[in-house]
Structure 1
């Protein structure tokens, strides 16, 4: 049985991980191309990307509320109802897109009040607006992705992400540097390429869903169903706590970017390089965590709590191996990584200085990703909001200010705070998961003493 869990998680998770690697490559390509065009634009991209990533991760967390619902319905064989739930999810994500875009536009209007270097604002503003226009397409894509992942069709989102990111990288090359007769747009060109690729990925999912035979049973439910209060409420009950948890985690990095901006443009550029590196690890771990969530939701429908525990533990073991595989080469290449992204020697030196605190939080990051997804699989999401608030707002951000400014450690001090927050979050999620699974198992035995 243990071997079957490894095989099943790898079968589900590897396509998600490969798709996430496509996102990672895109992040690297964006940072490298912009960095070699101008270190000033790299610093501007750092701030805007961190603000927009906060909105994207928050919105992605909301979409994750669809996964356990789809996983349970798919396990029951109710494909038409699954399609109806997708319809409700798209409606909920559209409403969220309006809210998020309104908040981000208000942030855009106040960019000059956030204490960032004055010379960056002319680069920040147009790039920010283009990324803002792309946010609704991110939310719609997320809804389709969580649907296809929930029905264990993880290869679809893998190919969508890889294809979209290839187009994005090609668009970056053409528009940043002004190739094939296009004007040289620099950072703005990177934003336009991102917008175009996100539109095309949603269009590809629409074609696949509405015009192929493989999704016909789900399409019937999607077209015949309606946006109903019951499904809409369920998706919101699950989605908002996950969005809040993931949003607070990302906010600890995004708000830290604001603090880094107080230190100067060089520090902000190095922060962007390290964020690009950190996404390598985060996205890979999260791909496996998503597989843990899907598998656990399937076994939850069977009330098999012994295997639910085994899946969570197996997933964490796989993530530990992934941590070793990413951390060792990053450490060995610590003096070279900065040079991949920019020709600025000061930025490269600063990147090398923050590699150690970055590596220190990998265990905590893997722990919190695995057991956060395990909790999503059993639809126990509300306590995660409190745990995330404690880990990131009570622990991580205050320590970042203490280490970075009060103690005078600068950007290294800000990065040193992250291991404390992420590890505390992982421990709290693990303890909650263990308690909840034990409680659910005991409740089942009390209600059905002869259940096996």
Structure 2
């Protein structure tokens, strides 16, 4: 009986080790992406903290303005994501021509999309007056949105270059670019929001200028460093911009448009949470912004593992090794869920103290408002703690599916999860007479949980079919 137990223990150890043995490589790819994505979120974190010192109306204005930005960003970033699996697959197959073509056509499309998204946001500003949001918040949002919308152009261009770099497994360079951008953003936020070092005091418009300048710096730095790198330089030389292939454009558009829709469906449900919170008042909207900003930072870790899954799955797809592809994906899921569990515990323990970082309790004028904002935000963080697991799982599985270039069914799954399941719950439970802000976030939890379950079923079914099909051919 003792021998049987030892054998079982040995088999269990072997089974676990086949996944944990990949942790180092997964982390090597994911860590720079995580730091880079945290850098993006940190820009918002710094904006929120500095703007929060001005008052809850200003914080709510940033939240409302960024809600429009997040929708536009989801489309741009989602579209650019199509570049990574194409580059990763071509790189594994050592197809230099295809790598260059994927980069060139992807970057052209990202540039055009960035300009179009800016124009859409710029001309859609009047909608703010018809959304039943607090008037003082709308008045502050309009000038802020002008500049932040324009920053979409360099941001989406940066994403195109970043996705190319990620596809070559050069994930550290976008991280460096983002870190530099953060330094620039913090400096300009400080001097322009509060009027330091001889600069004019511009309030939340100063935060918008800081965001715009930092995003221009990101593009310039990443382009420069990739031109100097030995591995990426060969793909950036002798690119004929005006010689294009409609077939490659079509391939990127087919992948990118559906990937963008996936991200849009998820980001839009969180954006709707901002708008529904605005119907409850400026304080619930400010509280929603605090909880969303904190949850976004932990979500960036899952995004990092999602990119690692996309790269490694793309490589294995190029090699047609689907058994290894499944093993690698499960190893990434294993590591990512461990991290998500740690964040969940962190939010549970510190849900009351974390929101206090965003407000100034020494401000006697806004003391009662700040007290209400912290109270609401602390309850929302309890929901955020619970959905750490499902949110992380769904985005990592989506990364693997994108690496497989499987986008149609996942797009349908995300729509069903967030808009057939999640939104109705947020809408009905989020009314002031029911659960208010807490009810809105229960809808988010329901949508994310549904998505994680359905996407896992899709990945498991698809990869088993690919393995069976290859076995039949051999």
TM-score, reference length from structure 1: 0.96
The separation in 1 between residues aligned to 2:248 and 2:258, in whole angstroms, is 16
SS of corresponding position for 1:408? coil
Q: 1:288-328, CA deviations, whole angstroms, 9 ceiling, x for partnerless residues?
A: 11101100110111111111111111111111111122222
1:78-117 to 2 correspondences below 5 Å: 78-117=95-134
Partner of residue 143, structure 1? 160
Partner of residue 233, structure 2? 216
Change (3 A) 1:324 1:118: same
Partner of residue 332, structure 1? 349
The separation in 1 between residues aligned to 2:55 and 2:26, in whole angstroms, is 42
CA contact (8 A) 1:83 1:220 kept: no
CA RMSD of aligned residues (A): 1.6
Q: In the TM superposition, what is the alpha-carbon distance from 1:385 to its structure 2 partner?
A: 1.5
Partner of residue 266, structure 2? 249
**Deviation larger for 343-352 or 293-302:** 343-352
Q: In the TM superposition, what is the alpha-carbon distance from 1:199 to its structure 2 partner?
A: 0.9
Q: In the TM superposition, what is the alpha-carbon distance from 1:225 to its structure 2 partner?
A: 8.1
Partner of residue 379, structure 2? 353
The separation in 1 between residues aligned to 2:259 and 2:91, in whole angstroms, is 21
1:46 aligns with 2:63: yes
Q: In the TM superposition, what is the alpha-carbon distance from 1:99 to its structure 2 partner?
A: 3.1
Runs of 4+ more than 6 Å apart? none
Unaligned runs of 5+ in 2: 1-17, 361-369
Q: In the TM superposition, what is the alpha-carbon distance from 1:207 to its structure 2 partner?
A: 2.2
SS of corresponding position for 2:431? helix
Q: In the TM superposition, what is the alpha-carbon distance from 1:276 to its structure 2 partner?
A: 0.7
Q: 1:377-423, CA deviations, whole angstroms, 9 ceiling, x for partnerless residues?
A: 11001111111110111111110011112861111110111111001
Which residue, 378, 389, 401 being the options, matches 2:415? 389
CA contact (8 A) 1:81 1:221 kept: no
Q: In the TM superposition, what is the alpha-carbon distance from 1:244 to its structure 2 partner?
A: 0.1
Q: Name the larger-Rg structure.
A: 2
Q: In the TM superposition, what is the alpha-carbon distance from 1:430 to its structure 2 partner?
A: 0.7
CA contact (8 A) 1:36 1:342 kept: yes
1:422 aligns with 2:448: yes
Figure out how many residues of one structure are paired with residues of the other and give that number. 448
Q: 1:63-114, CA deviations, whole angstroms, 9 ceiling, x for partnerless residues?
A: 1101110001111222343123211011111222233223322321221011
The separation in 2 between residues aligned to 1:98 and 1:118, in whole angstroms, is 29
The separation in 2 between residues aligned to 1:98 and 1:30, in whole angstroms, is 24
TM-score, reference length from structure 2: 0.91
Partner of residue 434, structure 1? 460
Partner of residue 446, structure 1? 472
Unaligned runs of 5+ in 1: none
The separation in 1 between residues aligned to 2:229 and 2:297, in whole angstroms, is 33
Change (3 A) 1:260 1:224: closer
1:25-424 to 2 correspondences below 5 Å: 25-210=42-227, 213-220=230-237, 222-223=239-240, 226-343=243-360, 344-405=370-431, 408-424=434-450
Q: In the TM superposition, what is the alpha-carbon distance from 1:17 to its structure 2 partner?
A: 1.1
Q: 1:343-367, CA deviations, whole angstroms, 9 ceiling, x for partnerless residues?
A: 2111111111222222121111011
